[in-house]
């Protein structure tokens, strides 16, 4: 029950009006999209009204009263119309965008950081991900604070509005476990316990499972079940019977009665508890009885505000708030209501109840009984109280060249470890802003030396017992608030969601971090949706995936990856690289550290047609295969080629019959093949492709530009291939799916044979597997011979 100190009577009256207004605006937005903007015969898309209404009260309490400037909220996807309506009232959303809801450039169906204009904190839509993101954002906030950044304003609370069925998503449980290990604080999850999912009514008694589960992992649990009206009724004669009846009522029956309304409540209650609670039932009209029985705490502003105000600690808190799906709307409680849309007739009735005149549907204060000036003053005050001024983080300067001692034979994974080891020595600011993380593969992805230098992060220092006991070990495992590595448990989903949180610190916490996460390449697939969402909301990070392909041969068949280069190409917002040599990796990494901070306009570069000024995240596919390193200096031109995606390792002559284009760890085979063919085929070239993704993206962009009339637009790959004679053939090869490079033939019309991996699982040595899967030297030469006229390539016979 609200204490008088929780909220003044006047403010409560205003909130009640705003709650009605928010529900109206959200419902009207959906109605408008379905019946007014799109013509009446057009496709109707439901899926919002009932889900939204369920959260209208809770979001009113939060956004118009309880949120503080540093708080950040992940809104349940289907509550997006409520969110947009609230932002509209707060002056951060336009009528045009509401009118265009889920239309072209309109307000989004699911809250979107990047596509919406009304200051969405976290993109949601794929259920479960936004929820976990609040947990990791809270850890990210701790990280920022512990490193002395982020100022002395009060810490923010990271709040998720969670659907009860959303809790079926396994990634949430992975996050809860990780949160417990990391000493989670300042995180609130408010469960919209409407006991309905998309298809139907959920299982009985879920709240009790949730309660024990959260408590087991160190959360406080607050159950918000009865509103003030119900609590009042419990004090009346027979009230305890009513309470017991509610507590024992199956979810399905409760939902059905909510849908049927007052008369049905009367009949059922009279039948069941009429003997003990007759007065309680009889003194109320049907309407009053209906209002009483739907007065769950999730729809009771005083109860919600009291509960939020009561939290005077930073322990993670789970609120289980009983709500009604479709509250206040005609299909409240109906099990099929997820996609329910109000008919025009129902909307007219709702309009009358809301006192909204035709033509005034979008007026903020239409139909409210409090004077507009008071409402406006209240909203102004809340708009500022909530957000203050959001600070934008500045960029951190990154050196153009990263020093590294390159051994004559080395793998890109070892090179990565060596480069980070060097950065670990550097006192420059960018080195201090790097934060690394890995799901229990820190050592096996070569981050060990960096971690030895920079330490592990924890809010409380924790010594390495092996070290204090003087037991020799290669790695120091010391935790402190200054540490720069966040060690995660094995769940890859958590890695991506943490990277998403760290990679949004510049926007969420106003402080720039340079996050680098490592994992085994095949396990990208484990967390793909989380990676996709991280990119979708424009989080910035570097993903280092190693080992990869079948080149990890000694590790065995189960860890081989095939499709990841295609993921790298297809994933929006992620630029993928696969260097073969460590000097290339150093050039790419220094580019990457700057690229993840870019935030410029959308204009592509005229050189590559890539949107480098816009920036994004980076994916590096690395290998454990030690290969001979070229002895060379990296000229500015070579550096540019590496970063743009390809360069000629051996430039083809004017009469070239064939070129080999390779990516990554198969470089030695490609180099050897070209050497062996040189005597029997003219002017053979060797193209080193460091990023099929960037080459391809530049090419498609340049084509679009030409189609728009920019006749001189040329991408990097077009310039590289433009001098090849038309009869020249291309053999492509990589340790990954052959489609990654197969498109090269279409750039200037050359025949192509693409070698790569289409099956996996075989164990063996690297030569065994390259032979088995057809990416060894012999396979390259054989392909070249088959594509090009001329005498047999003599050296082919000598190859095993």
Ligand X SMILES: Cc1ncc(C[n+]2csc(CCOP(=O)(O)OP(=O)(O)O)c2C)c(N)n1
Does position 338 interact with ligand X (CB under 6 A)? The reply is: yes
Q: How far is the CB of 323 from Mg ion (least distance, A)?
A: 8
Interacting positions 51-110 with ligand X (CB under 6 A)? 51, 54, 77-78
In the bound complex, what is the minimum distance in angstroms from residue 199's beta carbon to ligand X?
8
Is residue 166 within the footprint of ligand X (CB under 6 A)? yes
Candidate ranges 100-108, 138-146, 158-166, 417-425; the one touching ligand X (CB under 6 A): 158-166
- Taken in order 527, 531, 532, 537, the sign of the CA dihedral is positive
Stretch in the footprint of ligand X (CB under 6 A) among 191-199, 278-286, 452-460, 574-582: 191-199
Residue 80 CB, nearest distance to Mg ion (Å)? 15
Please pick, from the candidates 192, 492, 612, 680, the single residue that binds ligand X as defined by CB under 6 A: 192
Half-sphere exposure of residue 368, counting CA atoms within 13 Å on the CB side? 26
To Mg ion, the closest distance from the beta carbon of 325 in angstroms equals 6
Report if residue 142 touches ligand X, rule: CB under 6 A. no
Question: Token pair of 300, please?
Answer: 């009771």
The answer to the question of residue 163 lying near ligand X (CB under 6 A) is yes
Residue 644 engages Mg ion in binding (rule: CB under 5 A) = no
Name the residue nearer to ligand X (CB basis): 163 or 227.
163
- By beta-carbon proximity to Mg ion, the closer residue of 325 and 716 is 325
Quick one: which of 67, 127, 160, 702 contacts ligand X (CB under 6 A)? 127
Tell me the per-residue interface mask from 196 to 235 with ligand X, x by CB under 6 A, - otherwise.
xxx-------------------------------------
> Which residues are CB-contacts of 541 (< 8 A; sequence separation ≥ 6)?
499, 500, 502, 503, 515, 516, 517, 534, 596, 617, 618
- Residue 326 as a binder of Mg ion (CB under 5 A): the answer is no
**Total interface residues for Mg ion by CB under 5 A:** 5
The vertex-548 CA angle with 542 and 554, nearest 5°, equals 140
The token duo for 602 is: 């959308």
Q: Which does 570 bind (CB under 5 to 8 A by kind): ligand X, Mg ion, none?
A: none
Cα–Cα distance for residue pair 566/543, rounded to 1 Å: 15
Is 328 among the residues that bind ligand X (CB under 6 A)? no
Is 196 a binder of Mg ion (CB under 5 A)?
A: yes
Nearer of residues 194 and 412 to ligand X, judged by Cβ = 194
Q: Which is nearer to ligand X, 300 or 669 (CB)?
A: 300
Interface region with ligand X, contact rule CB under 6 A, candidates 193-201, 438-446, 542-550, 697-705: 193-201
Token pair for residue 79? 């509550």
Backbone angles phi, psi at 685, to 5 degrees: -115, 160
738 makes contact, choosing from ligand X, Mg ion, none, with CB < 5 to 8 Å by partner type, with none
3-state secondary structure (DSSP) of residue 689: strand
Tokens describing residue 574? 């992620």
Q: From the list 94, 126, 278, 703, which residue makes contact with ligand X (rule: CB under 6 A)?
A: 126
DSSP character string of 456-475: EE-SS-B--HHHHTT---S-
Q: Which does 126 bind (CB under 5 to 8 A by kind): ligand X, Mg ion, none?
A: ligand X
Question: Using CB distances below 5 to 8 A depending on partner kind, what does residue 485 bind out of ligand X, Mg ion, none?
Answer: none
Of positions 34, 194, 690, 754, contacts ligand X by CB under 6 A = 194
* CB 173 to Mg ion: min, Å: 18
Contacts of 334 (CB under 8 A, 6+ apart): 50, 255, 259, 326, 340
In whole angstroms, the minimum distance from the beta carbon of 759 to Mg ion comes to 43
CB atoms within 10 A of CB 591: 22
Torsion of CA 642, 446, 507, 535, to 10 degrees: 60
Q: Candidates 71, 118, 121, 164: give the one binding ligand X (CB under 6 A).
A: 164
Q: Shortest gap between Cβ of 165 and ligand X (angstroms)? A: 3
Q: 């093949």: which residue's tokens?
A: 673
Give 326's strand partners: none
Q: Cα–Cα distance between 175 and 501 in angstroms, integer?
A: 13
Applying CB under 6 A, among 84, 102, 113, 325 the residue interacting with ligand X is 325
Helix (H) or strand (E) holding 405: none
Whole-number Å distance between alpha carbons of 515 and 542: 6
Cβ atoms 679, 582 nearer than 8 A: no
Q: Please give the size of the binding site for ligand X, defined by CB under 6 A.
A: 17
Closer Cβ to ligand X, 336 or 758, answer by number? 336
Specify whether the CB–CB gap between 101 and 29 falls below 8 A: yes
Binding window for ligand X (CB under 6 A); candidates: 3-11, 16-24, 157-165, 718-726: 157-165
Smallest gap, in angstroms, from Cβ of residue 146 to Mg ion?
37
Q: Cβ closer to Mg ion: 130 or 163? A: 163
* Residue 120 half-sphere exposure toward CB, CA atoms < 13 A: 30
Span interacting with ligand X, options 194-202, 574-582, 637-645, 690-698, rule CB under 6 A: 194-202
Judge contact between 694 and 608, C-beta under 8 A: yes
The DSSP element (H or E) to which 574 belongs, if any, is: strand 574-577
Residue 158 pairs in a beta bridge with: 72, 187
690 is a contact residue toward ligand X (CB under 6 A)? no
Pick between residue 202 and residue 435 the one whose CB is nearest to ligand X.
202
Minimal distance in Å, beta carbon 699 to Mg ion? 46
Nearer to ligand X, 77 or 455 (CB): 77
Choose among ligand X, Mg ion, none what residue 17 binds, the Cβ cut-off being 5 to 8 Å by kind: none
Q: Restricting to residues 131-170, name those near Mg ion by CB under 5 A.
A: 163-165
CB of 332 to Mg ion, least distance (A): 13
Structure tokens at 746: 């279409």
SS (H, E, C) 349-371: HHHHHHCCCCCCCCCCCCCCCCC
**Nearest to ligand X of 332, 618 (CB atom):** 332
Cβ closest to Mg ion, residue 89 vs residue 165:
165
Burial of 247 (0-12, 13-18, 19+ CB in 10 A): exposed
Least Å from the CB of residue 52 to ligand X? 8
- Residue 50 to residue 45: CA distance in whole angstroms: 13
Q: Of the candidates 773, 737, 768, 558, which has an alpha carbon nearest to the alpha carbon of residue 663?
A: 737
**Length of the chain, please?**
800
- Strand partners for 618: 542, 575
Among left, alpha and beta (phi > 0; psi -120 to 50; other), residue 527 is alpha
Q: Least separation, in Å, of the C-beta of 310 and ligand X?
A: 25
Q: Which two tokens stand for residue 422?
A: 């060097």
Cβ contacts of 773 within 8 Å, gap of 6 or more: 550, 757, 758, 759, 762
- Whole-number minimum distance, CB 521 to ligand X, in Å? 24
**Nearest CA-CA partner of 268 in 283, 279, 284, 281:** 281
- Give the interface segment with Mg ion, choosing from 196-204, 350-358, 556-564, 754-762 (CB under 5 A): 196-204
Contact set with ligand X (CB under 6 A)? 51, 54, 77-78, 126-127, 163-166, 192, 194, 196-198, 325, 338
Contact set with Mg ion (CB under 5 A)? 163-165, 194, 196
């Amino acid at each position: 029950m609200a204490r008088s100190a929780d909220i003044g009577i006047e403010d409560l009256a205003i909130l009640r009006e705003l709650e009605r207004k928010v529900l109206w605006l959200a419902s009207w937005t959906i109605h408008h999209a379905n019946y007014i903007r799109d013509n009446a015969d057009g496709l109707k898309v439901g899926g919002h009204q009932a889900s939204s209404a369920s959260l209208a009260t809770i979001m009113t309490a939060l956004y118009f009263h309880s949120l503080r400037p540093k708080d950040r909220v992940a809104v349940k996807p289907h509550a997006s119309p409520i969110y947009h309506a609230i932002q509209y009232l707060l002056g951060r959303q336009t009528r045009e965008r509401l009118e265009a809801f889920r239309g072209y450039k309109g307000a989004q169906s699911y809250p979107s950081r990047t596509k919406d204009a009304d200051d969405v904190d976290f993109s949601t839509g794929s259920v479960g991900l936004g929820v976990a993101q609040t947990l990791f954002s809270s850890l990210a906030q701790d990280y920022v604070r512990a490193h002395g950044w982020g100022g002395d304003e009060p810490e923010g609370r990271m709040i998720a509005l969670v659907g009860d069925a959303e809790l079926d998503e396994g990634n949430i449980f992975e996050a809860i476990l990780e949160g417990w290990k990391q000493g989670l604080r300042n995180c609130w999850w408010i469960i919209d316990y409407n006991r309905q999912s998309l298809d139907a009514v959920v299982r009985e008694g879920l709240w009790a499972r949730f309660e024990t589960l959260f408590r087991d992992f160190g959360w406080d649990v607050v159950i918000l079940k009865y509103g003030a009206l119900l609590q009042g009724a419990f004090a009346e004669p027979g009230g305890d019977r009513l309470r017991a009846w509610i507590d024992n009522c199956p979810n399905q029956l409760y939902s059905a009665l909510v849908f049927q309304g007052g008369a049905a409540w009367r009949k059922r209650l009279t039948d069941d508890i009429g003997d003990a609670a007759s007065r309680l039932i009889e003194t109320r009209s049907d309407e009053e009885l209906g209002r009483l029985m739907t007065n769950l705490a999730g729809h009771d502003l005083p109860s919600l505000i009291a509960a939020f105000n009561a939290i005077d600690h930073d322990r993670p808190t789970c609120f289980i708030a009983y709500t009604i799906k479709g509250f206040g709307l005609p299909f409240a409680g109906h099990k099929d209501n997820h996609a329910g849309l109000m008919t025009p007739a129902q909307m007219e009735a709702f309009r009358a109840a809301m006192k909204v005149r035709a033509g005034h549907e979008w007026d903020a204060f239409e139909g409210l009984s409090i004077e507009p000036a008071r409402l406006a003053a209240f909203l102004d005050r809340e708009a500022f109280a909530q957000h203050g001024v959001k600070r934008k983080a500045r960029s951190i300067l990154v050196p153009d060249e990263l020093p590294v001692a390159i051994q004559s034979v080395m793998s890109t994974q070892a090179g990565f470890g060596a480069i980070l080891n060097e950065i670990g020595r550097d006192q420059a600011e960018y080195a201090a802003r790097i934060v690394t993380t890995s799901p229990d593969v820190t050592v096996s992805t070569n981050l060990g030396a960096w971690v030895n230098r920079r330490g592990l992060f924890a809010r409380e220092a924790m010594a390495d017992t092996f070290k204090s006991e003087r037991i020799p070990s290669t790695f120091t495992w010391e935790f402190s608030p200054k540490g720069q590595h966040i060690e995660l448990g094995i769940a890859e989903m958590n890695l991506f969601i943490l990277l998403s949180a760290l990679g949004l610190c510049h926007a969420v916490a106003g402080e720039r971090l340079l996050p680098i996460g490592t994992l085994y390449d095949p396990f990208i697939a484990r967390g793909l949706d989380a990676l996709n969402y991280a990119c979708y909301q424009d989080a910035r990070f570097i993903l280092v995936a190693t080992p990869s392909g079948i080149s990890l041969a000694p590790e065995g068949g189960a860890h081989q990856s095939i499709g990841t280069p295609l993921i790298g190409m297809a994933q929006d917002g992620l630029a993928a690289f696969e260097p073969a040599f460590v000097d290339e990796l150093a050039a790419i990494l220094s580019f990457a550290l700057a690229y993840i901070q870019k935030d410029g306009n959308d204009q592509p570069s005229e050189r590559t047609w890539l949107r480098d000024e816009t920036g994004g995240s980076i994916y590096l596919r690395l290998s454990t295969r030690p290969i001979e390193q070229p002895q060379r200096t990296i000229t500015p031109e070579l550096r540019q080629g590496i970063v743009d995606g390809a360069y000629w390792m051996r430039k083809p002559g004017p009469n070239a019959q064939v070129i080999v284009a390779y990516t990554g760890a198969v470089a030695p085979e490609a180099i050897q093949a070209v050497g062996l063919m040189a005597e029997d085929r003219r002017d053979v070239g060797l193209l080193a492709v460091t990023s099929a993704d960037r080459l391809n993206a530049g090419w498609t962009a340049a084509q679009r530009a030409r189609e728009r009339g920019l006749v001189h637009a040329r991408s990097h790959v077009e310039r590289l291939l433009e001098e090849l004679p038309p009869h020249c053939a291309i053999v492509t090869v990589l340790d990954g799916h052959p489609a990654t490079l197969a498109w090269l033939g279409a750039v200037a019309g050359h025949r192509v044979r693409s070698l790569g991996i289409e099956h996996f699982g075989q164990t063996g040595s690297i030569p065994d597997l390259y032979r088995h899967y057809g990416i060894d030297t012999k396979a390259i030469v054989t392909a070249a011979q088959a594509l090009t006229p001329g005498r047999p390539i003599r050296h082919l016979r000598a190859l095993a």
